Amino acid sequence: MLKNKLLLGSTSIVICSLIACTNLNKQDKFPTLEEECKLAGSSSKQCEIFNLKDLSLDEKENLMGWVYLNGLDNIKPNYDKAYYWFEKAAKANNHEAINSLGMIYFAGLGKDKDFQKAEEYFLEANKYGSKDAKLNLAELYRVKDFGRSPDFEKAERWYLLGVQDNPSRAYEGLSKMYLDQENYEKAFSFSEKAAELGNPEAQYNLGVFFEQGVYVKKDKKQAKYWYEKAAKQGHLNAINNLNILRNK
């Protein structure tokens, strides 16, 4: 236990003639941004992305990938399309797209999990300036997955490098790493740092530390305090634990 901005209109229904539909079938499985817009309809999210004036082509492709990866409103997640758009954006060295390709292989989203490919994409994304890649590398090395043991030395190195980009997430990651090693003193210390920066997972973990008396003395008041902090950010486990504490 211890252990982008799219407010878009509704999609219109596109009815094509027999000739038009035949022409569409002759296109590649995944079209250009302009063709994607035409296929989805003028009021679609795809057209909204295509018509954005302040984004470069690769930024639009990356955003299209994000929409298909996560789903948005009436667009359901489509990992094949997400991969296609991220790959196109990555060819222009878009670091966000490269990082997302790494996440696809890390999490096995439409592709088999692949440690080597995830690592390669994260390293490349970091080279091009991604602010997420360092910590994704740290997570990659921390977890026991891909048929390999964790590499805590590498994980710690990348977490510490990631402090400059996202200290809250980096400290919370270090806390998890030390929990994995049952070093509760360091786990508590890094949880505290992350919690003070507003990280809800770290706030929840501090609540667990205080509720269960792990490393610190049991303190119901402190446990409630940190559960409440995390619960206000929608942390479901914190909400559950807080309700249990209140009913004791």
The model scores a pTM over 0.95: no
Which two tokens mark 16? 């094509």
User: Is 97 a domain residue?
Assistant: no
| pLDDT score for 31 | 84
Which two tokens mark 65? 């990938």
**Which tens digits make up the pLDDT trace of 51-82?**
999 999 999 999 999 999 999 888 999 999 99
User: Is 145 a domain residue?
Assistant: no
Is 84 within 8 Å of 53 (Cβ atoms)? no
User: Is 28 a domain residue?
Assistant: no
Domains of the chain: total: 1
| DSSP one-letter code for 53 | S
Structural domain for 218, as ranges = 187-248
User: Is 48 a domain residue?
Assistant: no
| pLDDT score for 248 | 77
Q: Can you give the CATH number for the domain in which 243 is found?
A: 1.25.40.10
| pLDDT score for 247 | 86
| pLDDT score for 29 | 66
Is 226 within 8 Å of 210 (Cβ atoms)? yes
**Which tens digits make up the pLDDT trace of 100-119?**
999 999 999 999 999 999 99
* Minimum mean pLDDT range among 43-47, 61-65, 212-216: 43-47
**Which tens digits make up the pLDDT trace of 126-177?**
999 999 999 999 999 999 888 889 999 999 999 999 999 999 999 999 999 9
User: Is 35 a domain residue?
Assistant: no
Dihedral pair phi/psi, residue 72, rounded to 5°: -155, 125
Q: Residue 95: pLDDT above 90?
A: yes
CA-based nearest residue to 84, from 15, 156, 28: 28
User: Is 231 a domain residue?
Assistant: yes
User: Is 109 a domain residue?
Assistant: no
Neighbours of 137 (CB within 10 A): 26
Amino acid at 130: S
Which two tokens mark 13? 């229904």
User: Is 38 a domain residue?
Assistant: no
